[in-house]
Amino acid sequence: MSRQLFIFAIIFTIIASVGCSSKDTEKLAETQKKLATVISLGKDLMPVFKRSCGVCHNRQNLNSPATEHNVYYENIDDITNKIGKFIIAGNPDESSLYKICEQSYPLSDEKIVMPPPGSGIPKWTDQELEKFAKWIAAGALKN
């Protein structure tokens, strides 16, 4: 069932990007809101971000490269501020943050792997990645 919901969201997103009437656009927005209620950024994803990303990507960790680049994952605003840059609403496969969490983001000949191997920080599980992808596909709402 969850895979069907994900596919449904992707199809609606594709239809919207190709071109829709205003009525179709309203239906898409309504569907995205319904899907977004299934996956909550605050309830479902923030605990994972805090566990797997916030350990290093926080404002108290002054020795982290994250501090130098202002890349933090401590709260909902930290995540939603990345929409349009690292998160492409409606498209998890084009969202670099999703690829980084999935550990498949290419950087020239190497992949960016987060959390770093040997750090002892748990990486995202397949179920967590699926929820993240669904949240992005549903419009990456601040919920």
Q: What is the CA radius of gyration of the chain?
A: 16
DSSP state of 114: S
* pLDDT score at 68: 75
Give the C-alpha distances (Å, rounded to integers) separating 139 from 32, 57, 115. 6, 24, 25
* pLDDT score at 23: 76
* pLDDT score at 63: 81
4-7 contacts at long range (C-beta below 8 A, 24 or more positions apart): 5/35, 5/38, 5/134, 6/130, 6/133, 6/134, 6/137
Buried b (16+ CB within 10 A) or exposed e, 97-135: bbbbbbeebeeeeeeeebbeeeeeeebbeeebbbbbbbb
> Structure tokens of 10?
């992707």
* pLDDT score at 8: 60
* pLDDT score at 134: 94
Burial of 15 (0-12, 13-18, 19+ CB in 10 A): middle
Write down the domain spans for the chain: 2-137
Report pLDDT digits (tens) over 80-99.
999 999 999 999 999 999 99
For the chain, list residues with pLDDT below 50. Answer: none
Instruction: Look up the pTM and report it.
Output: 0.71
